Amino acid sequence: MPPRSRRTPAPAAARRAFVETLGDELTRAGMNRMAARVFAALVSTDEGRLTAADLQESLHASAGAISGAVRYLEQVHMVERSRPLGSRRDEFSVADDIWYEGLLHRGSVVDRWHEVMADGAVQLGADTPAGERLAQMADFFAFLQVELPALLEKWRSQRD
């Protein structure tokens, strides 16, 4: 793959269309619409990073909307904030290994959800429809607890 600086930039119209398409998909999956659009803008920029002003301009959004979206994306570890040396403006970017890191941090969530579902199955009764449903969910999260670390390691070694 050629160095990033020598690649042909993506056409602006294609980028705008992609931002809306990915934004719509992430919104359907439950993400706040503006956060979804900010994330889509960041992953589709050739530079790999944008300032809040860049995001405002490209998404035709207010400073407050961008600020709230970025704050949420930082809290869920989907966006990183940095300030170039000598600059007074923060830049936002998406780490190259965002999905790997995101799933790695989800391990504790999977552990908690397994525990909650297993406890719920016991509390509601293993022989009730709700208890059976919760037990099946607990089994799924137990499966993820075992398989996810190996899958992530396989991905890491494949990338390296």
Question: CA nearest 2: which of 39, 40, 46?
Answer: 46
pTM over 0.95: no
For residue 106, the model assigns a pLDDT of 62
Eight-class DSSP state of 29:
T
What does the pLDDT look like over 1-11, one tens digit per residue? 445 555 676 78
What does the pLDDT look like over 93-141, one tens digit per residue? 997 777 766 666 666 778 888 999 999 999 999 899 999 999 999 999 9
Residue 75 has pLDDT above 50, yes or no: yes
Q: Give the separation between CA 75 and CA 85, rounded to whole angstroms.
A: 24
Give residues with Cβ within 8 angstroms of 72, minimum separation 6. 32, 35
More confidently predicted of 13 and 55: 55
Q: What is the 3-state secondary structure (H, E, C) of 69-109?
A: HHHHHHHCCCCEEECCCCCCCCEEECCCCHHHHHHHHCHHH
